[in-house]
């Protein structure tokens, strides 16, 4: 411990008299003092002691408040607001288990269409052809040539069935996987000679 740090710990601040140059010690609880040698009034200045090394900061109270705010937003159904506060928690505590689990749940909430299918026809195929779309056995209607159908699917694996409306027996089945809310899938379904559908 340096001399300055020892003096600070005792409640006194070492200073130099601006009049006579003498070293004096002033009570740190007062704004000013007097030189014990010449009587000059000395006004204290702020003394900053530099600490080297890592200094831990306790954010537990702030984190608790942020988690409460996030919970309030979740209860109101405002997942966007909740996400902001959970991310602020993770900025302070990267491994916070509550915030991480909450973000995992939020990432599974799909809000926008994540599957797009565009219907086209080959050069020699009937331009009036249309494609019927079923996903997980549910009929999602028809996509006409040149148009795009968009669908919002939950996280997980889904079966898509495409069928040319004018062809009774042909169908094309394939699976799509929605990993999280950020997943975006785009397909082009082309009706071709032989009454088949090609997916790209």
pLDDT digits (tens, 9 = 90+) for 17-33: 666 666 767 666 666 67
Residue 158 has pLDDT above 80, yes or no: yes
Q: Are residues 144 and 192 located together in one domain of the fold?
A: yes
Report if residue 50 sits inside a domain: no
Report if residue 191 sits inside a domain: yes
- The pTM score is 0.66
CATH number at residue 67: 1.20.58
Q: Are residues 11 and 37 located together in one domain of the fold?
A: yes
| 47 confidence band (pLDDT: 50, 70, 90) | very low
- Domain extent for 36: 3-43
Report if residue 82 sits inside a domain: yes
Report if residue 96 sits inside a domain: yes
- Provide the 8-state DSSP code for 156: E
Q: Are residues 140 and 92 located together in one domain of the fold?
A: no
Report if residue 51 sits inside a domain: no
Report if residue 52 sits inside a domain: no
| Lowest mean pLDDT across 36-40, 78-82, 145-149, 171-175 | 36-40
Report if residue 55 sits inside a domain: no
Number of domains in the chain: 3
pLDDT recorded at residue 168: 85
Q: Are residues 157 and 126 located together in one domain of the fold?
A: yes
The two beta strands, 185-192 and 115-121, are: parallel
pLDDT recorded at residue 49: 43
Q: Are residues 145 and 176 located together in one domain of the fold?
A: yes
Q: Are residues 178 and 119 located together in one domain of the fold?
A: yes
User: Can you tell me the mean pLDDT for 119-146?
Assistant: 95
Do residues 86 and 101 lie in contact, with contact meaning Cβ atoms separated by under 8 Å? no
Alpha carbons 158 and 119: distance in angstroms, whole number: 19
Report if residue 88 sits inside a domain: yes
């Amino acid at each position: 411990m340096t001399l300055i740090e020892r003096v600070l710990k005792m409640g006194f601040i070492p200073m130099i008299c601006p009049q006579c140059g003498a070293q004096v010690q002033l009570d740190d609880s007062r704004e000013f003092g007097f030189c014990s040698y010449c009587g000059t009034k000395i006004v204290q200045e702020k003394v900053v002691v530099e600490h080297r090394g890592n200094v831990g900061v306790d954010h537990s109270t702030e984190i608790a408040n942020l988690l409460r705010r996030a919970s309030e937003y979740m209860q109101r159904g405002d997942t966007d607001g909740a996400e902001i506060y959970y991310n602020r928690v993770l900025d302070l505590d990267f491994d916070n288990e509550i915030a991480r689990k909450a973000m995992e749940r939020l990432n599974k909430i799909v809000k926008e269409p994540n599957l797009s299918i565009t219907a086209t026809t080959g050069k020699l195929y009937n331009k009036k052809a249309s494609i019927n779309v079923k996903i997980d056995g549910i009929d999602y209607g028809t996509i006409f040539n040149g148009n795009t159908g968009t669908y919002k699917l939950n996280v997980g694996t889904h079966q898509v069935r495409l069928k040319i409306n004018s062809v009774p027996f042909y169908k094309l089945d394939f699976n799509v996987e929605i990993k999280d809310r950020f997943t975006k899938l785009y397909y082009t379904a082309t009706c071709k000679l032989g009454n088949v559908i090609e997916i790209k």
